[in-house]
Amino acid sequence: MAFAATFSAPAQGQDVAYSFTWEGAGGYVMQGGIAFDSDRPGGRLVRENDVQCFVIEGFRNGEPIGRWALGQLTEETTWTLTFSPAQSAFVVYGPMADMPQAWNMNGFGENCGDPGFGFNIGNFAQDLCVDGELARDSQIAPARPFPATRDDGYVFPSDGCRSALMLSHLDNG
């Protein structure tokens, strides 16, 4: 399965995009992209409802292990995101943020689906969920920085961006 082949749609309109790579323990790596409206108020953190496009893809020892994209979001999905444009980084665990990231994964690491893939930063670790189970051997320190790189040319997969239909379902649903 080649994940790169699934990328087909650029970020929409006036979105600002970032790409990122997270390196966990045990040979685990996660790569992805995030885009949000450039017209949002400056200086404020980007939260999950601000995100227009998002995708993550996981690998272990170079082999694909799963992916999750914003188009897969449902009302049951665990979805918390906190990004600091001023620091070009995702917020990590600290006194003011006990679980700043939960991308298709709760704090127990058992709700990413089977098959499924998710990521979480909580008070115990930064870690992955693979096929409905916590990948304990992916765990790293919860306060380790998680930077991102401005990348307005990042190309998102067709399921990586919010659709008007999905937005109306979640907002009115």
pLDDT in tens, 125-158: 999 999 999 999 999 999 999 999 999 999 999 9
Residue 5 belongs to some domain of the structure:
no
In a domain, 119, yes or no: yes
pLDDT tens-digit series, residues 32-77: 999 999 887 666 899 999 999 999 999 999 999 999 999 999 999 9
In a domain, 143, yes or no: yes
**Please, which residues have CB within 8 angstroms of residue 3's CB and are 6 or more apart in sequence?**
57, 64, 67
Residue 8 lies in a domain: no
Instruction: Identify the sign of the CA torsion 154, 84, 26, 69.
Output: negative
Range of the structural domain that residue 72 is part of:
13-172
What is the per-residue pLDDT for 41? 64
Whether 2 is covered by a domain: the verdict is: no
As for how many domains the chain has, the answer is 1
Give the global pTM: 0.86
1 belongs to a structural domain = no
The per-residue pLDDT for 10 is 47
Contact 140, 126 (CB under 8 A): yes
Would residue 145 count as lying in a domain? yes
